[in-house]
Amino acid sequence: MSLLREIQASLISDEPNLGGVLLKLRLLAARLGSDILSDWVKHEMSGYPNDVDLPDYRVIGVSFKGTFSGAFGSGINNAPIPTALVEQHAGEHWSNHRVRQGIAAIDDLVKNAQESGSLGLDCSNLILLLQGKIYEDYACNDIRGSISRSSLVQIQSEVKSRVLELTIELEKSIPAAAEIVLTPESTENIDEGEVSKIINQTIYGNYTEISNTGDSAHIEVKAIQGNAEAFEKVLEESGISQESAKELSDIVKSESPESKNEPLGTKAKQWLLNNLEKAEDGTWKVGISVATDVIKSAVKGFYGL
């Protein structure tokens, strides 16, 4: 049986071993020559370092409860704390927990939470940030954060689903991928560009990665469609100033592309002409040609072209 079909068979078994599935997928990635897939599998198995962006399915909500004391022995126990208040006074990162552990650690967390249905988080620092901001005239004595077991189970399901969808797409679009076996054989009939396209679309969704060297830019499209914040981040990371990125973001949100081949609308075109001098005078940390390519590709990604 080929590696790809072994992976599929494992996924649809009654009790799939996700760790074993990912090991086989990593071997398949090596046979396909795909660094993108190999990196994703490595992170899913060993965990995501702090400098690596997490997939959306690994960001899960946190609920909070607190204990408060007031005058004359009064108190409020196990009172729910609105996440909106937590975000307002402490930041969004408190209400959205980033799960960076490898899949084996997540499996253990799911097992440990089987009876309670949730896992607790250390929120001792949050007490200081919310002191006096929840109930007037009441002191905050304790805050407990928890994430539901079902959120962790959903991470497992998302990984399984994406791996299965990937193998189906590879089998359908690149038949030679379905013939790869454990023993190394030639993969000369496999289009690596097509493999990368399928992996990006299946694992990451719409993808935008921009890197530039000198006067040339390497641009791939990544998860920014309709997302103004992600659009601005792409521009800033390429060397365009934060102020300029925000200006262009406001413009592309307010108008439509001229065509599929010409993503810039009338206002965006005029803005680009007025601002390219910033690439010459050093305000932007990127050259004119690269800046133009980056902006057009980012706008295409935002509009989903």
Residues 92-139: pLDDT tens digits?
A: 889 999 999 999 999 999 998 888 888 998 888 898 889 888 888 899
**Centroid of chain to Cα 44:** 13
Q: What is the pTM of this model?
A: 0.59
Residue 22's pLDDT is 92
Say what the pLDDT of residue 190 is. 56
What does the alpha-carbon distance between residue 17 and residue 30 come to, in Å, rounded to a whole number? 20
pLDDT tens digit string along 209-239? 444 444 444 444 455 677 888 888 888 877 8
Beta partners for 217? 212
Coil, helix or strand at residue 255? coil
CA 44/CA 47 separation, integer angstroms: 6
**Which structure tokens are listed for 244?**
């300029």
Q: What is the pLDDT of residue 16?
A: 78
Identify the pLDDT of residue 223: 56
Q: In this predicted model, what pLDDT tens digit does every residue of 35-48 receive, in sequence order? A: 888 899 999 999 99
Least confident of 3-12, 90-99, 171-180, 280-289: 280-289
Distance of CA 158 to the CA centre of its chain: 13
pLDDT of the residue at 193: 58
pLDDT in tens, 20-32: 899 999 888 888 8
Amino acid at 120: G
